[in-house]
Amino acid sequence: MLVAAAALLAASCGDDDIDNPTAEDSLRDCLTEQGLTVEASDLGSSAASGNASPDFRVISDDGEIADVIVEGSDEKAERTAADVKGAKQSFGTDQAVVVQEKNVVVVFEDEPAADFRRQVETCVD
């Protein structure tokens, strides 16, 4: 009985990296279902991401671009978002818009159109 209680307590404490993160494959599938193009990230073209390495890129029908970074936990995503926001100022890319939800960071190259932002945020929420 004591062993079962200890196991239950340990399971309920959780780990920072196990906070029901968004899976990258599921996110890609959702974005595609929203009618967006998902492709490999273009590491050389986005100074707005700073040191962060985008996992993939999302492109709207109108050619708007967002880089997506999927981290292992909410906390890592918060740190990544803060780093990207700092890089925006350093690299002079203030027009970039950074959105962090759960373990996902999305870096829109410019202020996104309402439809594009809604399509992306629908999948991230």
pLDDT at 69 over 80: yes
Helix H or strand E encompassing 13 = helix 2-13
Quote the pTM value.
Answer: 0.78
pLDDT confidence band for 48 (50 / 70 / 90): low
- The rounded distance, in Å, linking the Cα atoms of 94 and 34 is 27
pLDDT at 44 over 80: no
Query: In this structure, how many other beta carbons lie within 10 angstroms of the beta carbon of residue 33?
Result: 11
| pLDDT at site 20 | 72
pLDDT confidence band for 26 (50 / 70 / 90): very high
Query: In this structure, how many other beta carbons lie within 10 angstroms of the beta carbon of residue 37?
Result: 13
Task: Provide the 8-state DSSP code for 77.
Answer: H
| pLDDT at site 42 | 72
Task: Provide the 8-state DSSP code for 47.
Answer: G
